[in-house]
Amino acid sequence: MSIGRTRSISLMGLTGNVVDIEVDIASGLPALVLIGLPDTSLGEAKDRVRSAITNSGSAMPPTRVTVNLSPASLPKQGSAFDLGIAMAILAGTGEAPAESVAAAIHLGELALDGRVRPIAGVLPAVVAARDAGFTRVVVPAGNRAEAELVSGITVIPVASIRHALVAHGADIAAFDVDVLRAPDASAETISERDLADVVGQPEVVEALIVAAAGAHHVYMLGSPGAGKTMLAERLVEILPDLTPEQSLEVTSIASLAGVSQTSQLATRPPFESPHHTATAVSIVGGGSGVIRPGALSRASRGVLFLDEAPEFSPAVIDALRQPLESGHITIHRAHQVAQFPAHVQLVLAANPCPCGQAGLSDSDCVCTPDRRRRYRARLSGPVLDRIDIHLPVRRVARARLLDDSESRVTTAQARARVVTARATARERWGGAAPASQELRAGRFRLAATVTAPLDLALDRGAVSMRGYDRALRIAWTLADLDGTTTPTRDHVGRAFALRKGLTA
Amino acid sequence: MAHKDDLGRWGERVAAEYLESEGYSIVDRGWRCAHGEIDIIVHREDCTAFVEVKTRRTLQFGHPLESITPAKMSRLRVLAGEWCRTTGYSRGRIRIDGIGIVGDGVRIESLDHRTDVIA
């Protein structure tokens, strides 16, 4: 009898696909039929839509209503199609202006009383809508702030079906309703952690600054109470602010993770510190039905801190190997494939042995050598080889604790140095850092006299080829921090020491 | 007889009058067998229709046709087959219709005739 149409967005990872919602209002007994590969929560949309339409004062057509979500082959999940389905039905019955409804993207879950509930993943969905060339997107009023972070598309926040009808130009009165909101993300706490809190470990602080400047992964090894966790938390503070694209990426992941309502773009790099009982899926992402980003992706453009790294299941740590190299993770499930960013700076922390006393002068380690070896072996060689900076963290002696004479570096100072060094690097590389091949043999090849310490180590088999490349990169970072145009022999030496920190 | 049965009977009468005015000839009304009852059986142009009539006073609790559930539909299907067998019907096509009436037993507010409701 009549057809209503509109569009919505189906998210797979951070990629949004435009989904056509077609509604056919045909003769037949009253029924609402949903076709087009819906999952359970989407299948339940039928009942939500029916109640919401009736309870908001509109009429559900007493005929056979067929809702088709197209492309039919694309798996669709979640409740974000509710509003689109309802508006397409009302466009079909003539209650809503059909042209206006058809031209807009609709996102939102419906409450039974006809109000519109906020949904997870509004930000990437609105970005997808804009990139697909749409000019108007109707979003839940509770997601307004998040949707408005996207420029170049008109955001129409609606609190209920009636509001949506009015927004499309229907000639009815809209009653004010209480806007349904998701729990708000707690206002960003100003960090109380300053780098200046770190006492008596200037060489460790310096190594952290190098790590931040070159985005090098760090492995901290030290006895309990030496300050490993404290240092990791401060590393994220000295990273520079996110660039606009990074910021959008980070906020999109946060929005998709759906833990809380995002109302502003993230400007600071994220920090994730999963507990060591975490499963591989919780770290790299996955899940049945909806593929959700894991801690690795939530920490993208920031720091992923694995405290007590040897306590993690070795399979979990090894799952990080490939994404650390490529900067993204592709998750395959039977029905779909999702790709998430994984540009993390990995920070591992470990005790020297299970009892934590090894290497301390004033206490005895009770672990057998075999036990100690097994403990260390839980971090596989391939993983440790990918980590640029190996950092021994020692307990602070009392003398250094009381010594106020040395000036401590504050977070602000450190961040300024990091920002300058990164700017220098960007200018020299002209964008992304070059391939290792370039560093070894190409345009950025260093003089043989400069790389002599490294060459010798390579000849002796003391470093792997990857280790050699990593040390070269650290040398460049050190040069950037010092403001010299190319690394000197001293930089290469220091880089090698940072790389081999544990054995030095 | 209960109040609701009066309304139902009135609705069936109204439906029968409507169908006749549409050019159908009534074949049977209230046909019963072990499986249940068919409200109205009509015939027009080589097609026999088995009509289920639902009557309600208001739309407050939904449209009358909404009360024809999938279970009711499959029973109608069985009943239709049973009727064909008993009567030896072989004159042409058959279909199942639904008629939903809103009215108070005197005045008809609306009448909906849905043809061929089993897709």
Domain extent listing, chain A: 2-167, 195-430, 434-504
- 3.40.50.10860, 3.30.230.10, 3.30.1490.100, 2.60.40.420: CATH of A2-167: 3.30.230.10
Q: Which of A262-271, A489-498, B7-16 has the lowest mean pLDDT?
A: A262-271
Q: Do A62 and B65 lie within an 8 Å CB cutoff? A: yes
B111 in contact with chain A, both atoms CB, cutoff 8 A: no
What is the rounded CA–CA span in Å between residue B19 and residue B53? 12
Q: Which of A213-227, A304-318, A441-455, B105-119 has the lowest mean pLDDT?
A: A441-455
Q: Where are the domains of chain B?
A: 3-114
The alpha-carbon gap from B52 to the nearest alpha carbon of chain A, in Å, equals: 11
Given a cut of 60, is residue A186 above it in pLDDT?
no
For B50-72, what is each residue's pLDDT tens digit? 999 999 998 888 889 888 888 88
pTM for the structure as a whole: 0.72
The alpha-carbon gap from B62 to the nearest alpha carbon of chain A, in Å, equals: 8
Q: Which of A137-151, A297-311, A374-388 has the lowest mean pLDDT?
A: A374-388
Query: In A315-354, where do the E strands start and end?
Result: 328-332, 337-341, 345-350
Between A86 and A380, the more confident residue is A86
Average pLDDT over residues A83-93: 94
In chain A, residues with a C-beta closer than 8 Å to the C-beta of B95 are none
Strands B36-44 and B47-56: antiparallel
The answer to whether A23 touches A36, Cβ cutoff 8 Å, is no
For A436-462, what is each residue's pLDDT tens digit? 777 777 777 777 778 888 888 888 887
Banded pLDDT at B1 (limits 50, 70, 90): low
Banded pLDDT at A503 (limits 50, 70, 90): very low
The SS3 assignment for A35 reads strand
The answer to whether A106 touches A156, Cβ cutoff 8 Å, is no
A207: enclosing H helix or E strand: helix A202-214
The Cα angle at residue A251 between residues A86 and A431, in degrees rounded to 5: 130
* Contacting B residues, span 4-33, partner chain A, CB-CB under 8 Å: none
Q: Quick one: fold of A195-430? A: Rossmann fold (3.40.50)
The alpha-carbon gap from B14 to the nearest alpha carbon of chain A, in Å, equals: 20
For A101-143, what is each residue's pLDDT tens digit? 999 999 999 999 999 998 888 888 999 999 999 999 999 998 8
Burial string for A374-400 (b: 16+ CB within 10 Å, else e) reads ebbeebeeebbebbbbbbbbbbbeeee
CATH class of this structure's domain B3-114: alpha beta
For A352-368, what is each residue's pLDDT tens digit? 888 877 766 666 778 88
Cis peptide before A71, with omega less than 30 degrees from 0? yes
Banded pLDDT at B119 (limits 50, 70, 90): low
Q: Please report the ipTM that was assigned to this predicted complex.
A: 0.77
B74 in contact with chain A, both atoms CB, cutoff 8 A: no
